[in-house]
Structure 1
Amino acid sequence: MKNYARVFRGTAFTSKSPTEVHILKEHLFCISEDGLIEKVVAPENPEYQTILQTYQDNLQCLKDGQYFLPGFVDLHVHAPQWAQSGTALDIPLYDWLNTYTFPLESKFSDLGFAKKVYQDVVSTLLANGTTTALYFATVHKEASLLLAKICAEKGQRGLVGKVVMDNPDQTSEIYRDADTQTALKDTEEFILAVNELAQSTKQGIYPVVTPRFIPSCTDDALKGLGELAAKYDTYVQSHCSESDWEHGYVQDRFQKNDAFALHDFGLLRDKSVMAHCNFLNDDDADLFAETGTAVSHCPISNSYFANSVIPIGYLHSKGVAIGLGSDISGGFSPSIYDNARQAVISSRMLEDGVDTSLPAEERGVPNSRITINEAFYFASAGGGESLSLAIGRLEENYAWDVQIIDTTVATAKLPIYDEKEDLHDVFQKIMYLVRPENICEVWVQGEKVHSQ
């Protein structure tokens, strides 16, 4: 028998496919020293009792009413914007950015202020079951590196980008890179510093090339960032075809959609994740699928700022990788649970339509709805696939990134009254009703990083 670092016993839910949830009842999860699931053992397996006896001093068994879920992946977080979450969501995107967001982000030149916000947002996301997060920081190199260090210290798998904004025509003089060359130099130095930090970080810390979006960047910056992504084989993140204003701006500037403009600069690649993407057409979606570019679906934020409902099920059917993003603070909630719920709601509204003056058959977009099973997949396995990382599934050779859900917490008890209730019904109740109080432990790469 192999020597495992730790063994866990309990019932788990994980995605079998985009539409199917695999229920692993009272399985054993054997975890290696490097935090991977080395073996999953069913109760009927002859090794089951032997492992239980061998590891009784290093065994964690779930209590009645507790379940394992994979840690969630948040593919779009503006870490500095945690300081303004829940603010000014009733004004247009352009005004929101210039009146609230950019002045706030400019304050992150102050490392003391940055440390307070970044420590809080990383801890908050972990407490909400988010074990991996793809972060936008700010234009400030040192503060962006501080965010990566905080992720490393707190045990969250962090992918962090120093934001590039060098276009004086579309950015405020109080908040932008000094010039194009400084933006590119700072980005390269940031990449090297994070890669060095990653060498001593068990769960993984990754630098991300981050043009904020096309309006904020000059052509030279976009070209230079594409070259840096290729040189260091880094992740890339940006916003793509989010709203009428942003989508229209790019068409006016380049006479093409965001997807093809970004591709021209080398910014669509297998490690690229583009947020929103509400206005992708079929050609754009085909280009995403061809290049391996993933979509971060931000359903709460989209309801406020995207001027549309993205046909997420259709994009996924065309072979585009999909994950979920909170888009703090365009999205007010740090919970991927909340975004999974909104993803289902928005898809139903897209399919059913909203204009009751039209006949029912003309009101919506057919075949648009997704199920909670699909939303769970986007929150976990889909997020892992979007990042090409072995995360988001409770399977052998995947990282032990888990949430332990307690459905019996007195202040947030789930309505489960029958011990023999169908476990898929229990899963649905978890996905729709869990609050942070129910997330009693969170583990990343085999290490406990949060407990109630």
Structure 2
Amino acid sequence: SVYQKYGLLHENCIMAHCCHSDDVERKLLADTRTSIVHCASSNFNLDSGVLDVHGCVAQGIRVGMGTDVAGGYSPSMLDALRQSIIASKVILFESRGDLRSSSSKPAAVSDGATTAGETDSSNASSEDGTPAVTTVTTPPTVTKVRPLSYKEAYHLATMGSAEALGMDKVVGNFVPGKKLDCLIVDPAVPNGPFDLFEGEGVSEFFQKFLFLGDDRNIVSVYVDGRQVL
């Protein structure tokens, strides 16, 4: 609300991280066309938190990907992509309660209801009058949260980032008329970081480059249609 008060939230505003923004704040970002740049590596390195990318996109927020090397450890967008996928799995684990310590106990309830994994012994007793514990439990909550796919993460690093910067009409994909910013990648480079096998196709090559590739696979770099490397 402070940013909004002083007119700082608008379509040219880019907010980094936003790990702890609630639904009200995210709605404000969506309504003002403010973008978020997701910097998963920095968030992990500084113990800052984890951004729910799917949740932000579902609320209509433009989300791009960044490295924030001041807090992260690598300027590589490949690393940022990989860390973003891992971050989305942390969100999934949280939604399922997988990150809760095995020794932790559900919070007490005052209305007599049981929580997931809690036994109900309020009306049970043994023959000697001592309470008897039953085995009745409530089922865990079913969640629809899912991690980022490699395709979604790649979109986040390319077209998603172009949209966040307001440059999606100029760069971000290979639509005719846009500037050509691209890498020429050779998945079969000698002494490369991964192996190729018979029967694999473009999809497998692409995934291997995203998850295992590095500078050795990059043959050349083009910026605005001009080869710079």
Q: TM-score by structure 2 length?
A: 0.76
Q: Distance in 1 between matches of 2:91 and 2:11?
A: 29
2:14–2:164 Cα contact (<8 Å) kept? yes
1:444 corresponds in structure 2 to: 223
Q: Distance in 1 between matches of 2:77 and 2:29?
A: 24
Q: Which has the higher strand share?
A: 1
1:404 corresponds in structure 2 to: 184
AA at the equivalent of 2:43: N
Q: Distance in 2 between matches of 1:303 and 1:417?
A: 34
Deviation at 1:361, TM superposition (A): 4.2
Q: Distance in 1 between matches of 2:74 and 2:218?
A: 16
Q: 1:332 aligns with which of 52, 73, 80?
A: 73
The alignment-based identity, stated in percent, is 29
1:385 corresponds in structure 2 to: 163
Q: 1:355 aligns with which of 78, 95, 100?
A: 100
1:285 corresponds in structure 2 to: 26
Q: 2:145 aligns with which of 335, 351, 367?
A: 367
SS in structure 2 opposite 1:388? coil
1:311–1:368 Cα contact (<8 Å) kept? no
Q: Distance in 2 between matches of 1:365 and 1:338?
A: 28
SS in structure 1 opposite 2:55? helix
Q: Distance in 2 between matches of 1:365 and 1:294?
A: 27
Deviation at 1:306, TM superposition (A): 4.7
AA at the equivalent of 1:268: L
Q: Distance in 2 between matches of 1:290 and 1:405?
A: 39
Contiguous gaps of at least 5 residues in structure 1: 1-259
2:193–2:214 Cα contact (<8 Å) kept? no
SS in structure 2 opposite 1:277? coil
Structure 1 residues 308 and 366: alpha-carbon distance in aligned structure 2, compared to 1, 3 A threshold: farther
Alignment RMSD: 2.0
Deviation at 1:414, TM superposition (A): 2.7
2:13–2:35 Cα contact (<8 Å) kept? yes
2:193–2:212 Cα contact (<8 Å) kept? no
Structure (1 or 2) with the larger CA radius of gyration: 2
Q: TM-score by structure 1 length?
A: 0.40
1:425 corresponds in structure 2 to: 204
SS in structure 1 opposite 2:41? helix
2:13–2:34 Cα contact (<8 Å) kept? yes
Q: Distance in 1 between matches of 2:6 and 2:56?
A: 23
SS in structure 2 opposite 1:319? coil
Structure 1 residues 398 and 275: alpha-carbon distance in aligned structure 2, compared to 1, 3 A threshold: same
Structure 1 runs (4+) deviating above 6 angstroms are none
2:193–2:216 Cα contact (<8 Å) kept? no
Deviation at 1:268, TM superposition (A): 1.1
1:352–1:365 Cα contact (<8 Å) kept? no
Alignment of structure 1 residues 116-155 onto 2, 5 Å: none
Give the structure, 1 or 2, with the largest relative contact order (CA under 8 Å, sep 6 or more).
Answer: 1
Deviation at 1:304, TM superposition (A): 2.3
SS in structure 2 opposite 1:270? coil
1:278–1:306 Cα contact (<8 Å) kept? no
1:310 corresponds in structure 2 to: 51
1:297–1:325 Cα contact (<8 Å) kept? yes
Structure 1 residues 322 and 406: alpha-carbon distance in aligned structure 2, compared to 1, 3 A threshold: same
AA at the equivalent of 1:400: L
1:404–1:442 Cα contact (<8 Å) kept? yes
Q: Distance in 1 between matches of 2:31 and 2:179?
A: 27
2:16 corresponds in structure 1 to: 275
AA at the equivalent of 2:180: W
Q: Which has the higher helix share?
A: 1
Q: Distance in 2 between matches of 1:397 and 1:347?
A: 34
Alignment of structure 1 residues 17-166 onto 2, 5 Å: none
Deviation at 1:356, TM superposition (A): 4.5
**How many residues are treated as equivalent by the alignment?**
189
Q: Distance in 2 between matches of 1:318 and 1:415?
A: 40
Alignment of structure 1 residues 205-220 onto 2, 5 Å: none
2:194–2:212 Cα contact (<8 Å) kept? yes
Contiguous gaps of at least 5 residues in structure 2: 105-116, 118-138
Q: Distance in 2 between matches of 1:334 and 1:321?
A: 22
2:85 corresponds in structure 1 to: 344
2:9–2:29 Cα contact (<8 Å) kept? yes
Q: Note the alpha carbon deviations across 1:423-450, whole angstroms, 9 max, x for none.
A: 2222211111110121121101011112
1:415 corresponds in structure 2 to: 195
